């Protein structure tokens, strides 16, 4: 049994965490009041319940609709920097030592902010939070993944932004494709992904929505180094009594190549990818040697933290201490920051 205190104390990573999906409820209320934005509720508990209910619809598109309200309060440099600061602060207090937080710069331009200014606001918030966490005796290293919305036509522009920003800001580490997936495969953004390969950018791609395996395969063909979610890989697995007894060619490829899977179990229940946590493939996949890590996706919508997700997985699948440690190390070592940093942080586990 992994209790809350032990889960918080464990040095952890989060690789798949959306900035606009992790705001504090009190911050949303305050910023919405400042800008005159109408929210579904003004009571903090009721608003939290509204976000969680919106996430738990078994429908990804309805889930994504809740972001209208978080994005509305993230359209100025001051507000973006504050949200970034609070995200890293909250993760540090939860025992996270390595964080990659992603966001789509193009979604923060309603007031005309330049893309590079948006990115700098985020990374400024990260640095300030790291500094303040260190003063409290907590070490955390936070990095940014820039997302292009796969329903739009700006993916090459965002890939070029990653390339430009990483030269002047070492907090920018990777490129991602995010948003609605069905009908928008990575191949629609082949030019951006070819640019990313040519420029040696780190790439992770969301691939979770359709019931088949095409999105995961398409992401790998176009150069993804990691797979966002990847829960649909279960369609290529034969799991019996909690053990993988056979697997198809794609699952075998992912296992043999040790391609990291950014798994967010509670989110996968909420969007209907699995009926409940006990049905999730993360336990069998970990024991079969897949490079899986535990992630939050959207802390606000799913009402989770890295420690609560780690404890839920550990207790649902009766993981040993060694297996919990392996989950923690997997996440840190799959990061896109320098190998020296990742090795040092991973050595703190167990």
CA distances from 193 to 165, 167, 197 (A): 17, 19, 6
36 φ/ψ sector (left φ>0, alpha ψ -120 to 50, else beta): left
Buried b (16+ CB within 10 A) or exposed e, 326-344: bbbbbbbbbbbbeeeebee
- Please compute, for residue 158, the number of CA atoms within 13 A of its CA located in the half-sphere on the CB side: 28
CB atoms < 10 A from the CB of 118, how many? Answer: 24
Which residue among 100, 106, 130, 209 is the active-site one? 209
Measured at the CA of 145, the angle between CA 61 and CA 79, to 5 degrees, comes to 80
- Containing H/E element for 253? helix 249-256
Would you call 130 a catalytic residue per the annotation? no
Q: What does the alpha-carbon distance between residue 19 and residue 218 come to, in Å, rounded to a whole number?
A: 26
Residue 11, beta-bridge partner list: none
Residues classed as catalytic: 209
């Amino acid at each position: 049994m992994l209790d809350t205190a032990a889960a918080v104390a464990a040095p952890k990573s989060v690789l798949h965490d959306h900035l606009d999906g992790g705001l504090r409820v009190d911050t949303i209320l305050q910023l919405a009041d400042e800008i005159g934005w109408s929210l579904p509720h003004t009571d903090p508990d009721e608003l939290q319940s509204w976000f969680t209910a919106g996430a738990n619809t078994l429908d990804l598109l309805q889930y994504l609709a809740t972001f209208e309200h978080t994005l509305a309060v993230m359209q100025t440099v001051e507000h973006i920097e504050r949200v970034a600061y609070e995200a890293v602060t909250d993760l540090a207090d939860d025992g996270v030592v390595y964080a990659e937080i992603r966001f789509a710069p193009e979604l923060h331009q309603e007031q005309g902010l330049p893309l590079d200014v948006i990115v700098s606001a985020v990374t400024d918030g990260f640095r300030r939070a790291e500094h303040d966490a260190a003063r409290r005796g907590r070490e955390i290293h936070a990095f940014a993944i820039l997302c292009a919305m796969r329903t739009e036509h700006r993916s090459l522009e965002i890939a070029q932004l990653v390339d430009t920003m990483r030269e002047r800001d070492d907090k920018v580490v990777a490129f991602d494709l995010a948003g609605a997936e069905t009908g928008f495969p990575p191949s629609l953004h082949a030019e951006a992904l070819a640019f990313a390969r040519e420029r040696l950018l780190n790439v992770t791609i969301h691939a979770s929505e359709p019931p088949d395996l095409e999105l995961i395969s398409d992401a790998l063909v176009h150069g993804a180094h990691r797979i966002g979610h990847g829960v649909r890989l279960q369609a290529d697995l034969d799991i019996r009594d909690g053990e993988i007894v056979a697997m198809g060619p794609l699952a075998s490829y992912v296992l043999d190549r040790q391609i990291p899977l950014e798994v967010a179990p509670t989110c996968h229940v909420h969007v209907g990818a699995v009926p409940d946590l006990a049905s999730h493939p993360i336990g069998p996949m970990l024991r079969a040697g897949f490079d899986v890590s535990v992630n939050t996706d959207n802390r606000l919508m799913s009402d989770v933290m890295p420690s609560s997700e780690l404890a839920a997985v550990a207790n649902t699948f009766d993981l040993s201490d060694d297996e919990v440690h392996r989950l923690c190390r997997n996440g840190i070592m799959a990061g896109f920051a320098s190998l020296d940093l990742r090795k040092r942080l991973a050595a703190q586990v167990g």
